[in-house]
Amino acid sequence: MPRGRARTFETYADAVAREARSDDLVGYVVDVLTRFSAGEDVDLDFLAREQVGHFCRTLGFARGRNWGAMRLPQIAPTDPDGAQIVPEDEAVLILSALKLFVRTGRIRPTDDDAPSPNLLNDFLPAGTRFNGKPCLGHIWEFRYALAVELEHGVSRGTNVTNNHPLLTGMVVMAHLAEDSLYYARLWVMETEGELLQAELARKPFKEIQETLTRLATAQMRLQARIQEKLRRA
C-alpha cells in the first residue's frame, strides 16, 4: 500500500476525481465511520456498488473483482478443507490496510475499554513483529474470517456492509476483540452445526463422513492454536 502524507477529501466522489491512493481511501472511510460513531450526521457515500468496486480496484484487487457486485461463493470459494475463504492476495491487502491504520492510531481496537493494538498479529507474516509483539502468520484463518463476515453483506438479505472489504475487515476485528481465537472456534462450531443438520436430514453416509472429516480438521486446527497461545502466555 502506498505511503506518504495523508490527503483529505470532502466526499468519496471528490476522492475518486482526485485519484486518491488506497491509503487515502481507507482513511476517508475510517474518518467517516469515526464521525458517525461520534453521533455526527454523515453521508456513507462509499457504500454504493460502484464505490465499493472503485475501492476494490484502488486497493489492488484484480480487474472485475468488485465485491459489491458479487455473491459470497464468487468472493470466497470453498477450499479443499470445505471452508469458504477469500483469496489470499485480497485478504493480505485488507490486512495491510487495517494494519496501517491501527499503527497510526486511526483505528483503535479495544477489549473491555482497554487498548488492544495487537488483534491482527495472529495473521500477519510469521517472523515479523507488529506493535512490539510477534506475528504468527495464520492468514488462512483471516481469509475464513472475512468470508464469514461477508454474511453481513449482500448474501443473507440483511445487508449492512454491501460487501465493502474494509467494513468487512473491521467486523472481523470487532469479533477478535472478544476472543483472538474467535474464528478458529467458529469453524468448529459451524461444522458441528452442519453435521447435526446432515444427520437430522438423514443425508447419505458419504456426505456425513465428509462433514466428520472437516470437523476433525477444524478441531485439530483449534487445538493447535490453543497450544500455541499457551506456549506464548
The pLDDT tens digits for 25-47 are 999 999 999 999 999 999 999 99
CB 55 within 8 A of CB 25: yes
C-alpha cell, 159: 445487508
Got the DSSP string for 166-228?
A: HHHHHHHHHHHHH-TTHHHHHHHHHHHHHHHHHHHTT--HHHHHHHHHHHHHHHHHHHHHHHH
pLDDT higher than 60, residue 108: yes
Residue type present at position 225: R
Q: pTM of the prediction?
A: 0.94
What does the domain layout of the chain look like in residue ranges? Answer: 12-180, 183-232
CB 121 within 8 A of CB 134: yes
Across the range 154-177, mean pLDDT stands at 94
Compute the distance between CA of residue 195 and CA of residue 165 in angstroms, rounded to an integer: 30
